[in-house]
Amino acid sequence: MSQTVLEINELTKQLNRKNIVHNASFQMKKGEILGLLGPNGAGKTTTIRMIVGLIKKTSGKVYINGRDLDEEGLACKSEIGAIVENPAFYDHMSGYKNLEQYARMAKNTISKKRVDEVVELVKLTGAIHDKVKKYSLGMKQRLGVAQAILHEPALLILDEPTNGLDPKGIRDLRDYLKQLADNGISTLVSSHLLSEMQLMCDRVVIMEKGKIINISNIHEEEEAEGAAGQLVALRVADSHIGLAEEAIAGFKEVTLSQRENGSVLLLKMPHDVLPELNRRLVQAGVDVFGLESRRSTLEDKFLALTSEKSDELQKEAT
């Protein structure tokens, strides 16, 4: 069985008798990248701050590698590397000197070999002896990850790590986190970039108004979606919508999902029937301007879930 690196159980934080986080529970396995998603004010950062011990929880439990944070706080924190705010460094010193300084402050001895390993892992070898004030934001983010994993933690926690990064910096960060996962380090990452979370994470936890409303395995959902049939956008001439719907109605393998923007029909079908559908449409006299495969995105799911939950909470309030 996979090792559980992080477990939070009914974690709750109250401020002025209001639940900022309410009964949040989830687990993380070794080498897993878990995304923590939610709109502003959902409780993501508060949850992270409780996990790393920056703020006190009202109730609930946090376990790191099976240890209770309340009872073995120092041991638990030694297993965590975190960037909760933008990483801060001594700008007048080189990246390497910064890492050496952090190594000296660590509870356990960190060797020069370990510093060199981390520098190579985050691909800063060519710039590590330059002063940090010359670094780009992406380079500083990489140096922050290097600092956070110097002491070989089991769990890395990153709060909005992609803020301010350009597309290349975001892709590089994703690659680094996947490499860390291959080395057995679990990463909990919060972000507003849902498309990036879909590429980066193994699972996602979605929060709304302090509550966890969904936990999903991205890879399993993608496989299930593929087995159930792909979504295809059919674009036809405006005057041929009726003809297209008639042709589709006689094709049992194809299901009409919805009409989009007037002349676009969303269809669900097995991948291998797409050529036959095109032939039938042409034979029926339908002018086909496009057949485009689509995949439901994490953004689609996120918006649907948060909208649905907001409606439920509004009904409860009334």
Where residue 160 sits, what CATH number does that domain have? 3.40.50.300
**CATH code, domain with 253:** 3.30.70.2250
Range of 35's domain? 4-222
The CA-atom distances, in angstroms, between 74 and each of 47, 71, 80, 156 are 19, 9, 10, 16
As for how many domains the chain has, the answer is 2
Same domain, 178 and 135: yes
Q: Please name which of 221, 233, 210 lies closest in space to residue 298, comparing C-alpha atoms.
A: 221
Q: What is the pLDDT of residue 221?
A: 60
pTM of the model: 0.75
Q: What is the pLDDT of residue 1?
A: 39
Same domain, 144 and 274: no
Q: What is the pLDDT of residue 312?
A: 56
Tokens representing 223 are: 């496989």
- Angle ∠(316,317,318) on CA atoms, nearest 5: 90
Same domain, 256 and 203: no
Residue 309 in any domain: the answer is no
The CA-atom distances, in angstroms, between 299 and each of 13, 35, 39, 167, 193 are 27, 13, 12, 18, 9
Query: Which ranges of the chain have pLDDT less than 50?
Result: 1, 227-228, 317-318
Q: What is the pLDDT of residue 310?
A: 53
DSSP state of 240: G
Same domain, 53 and 192: yes
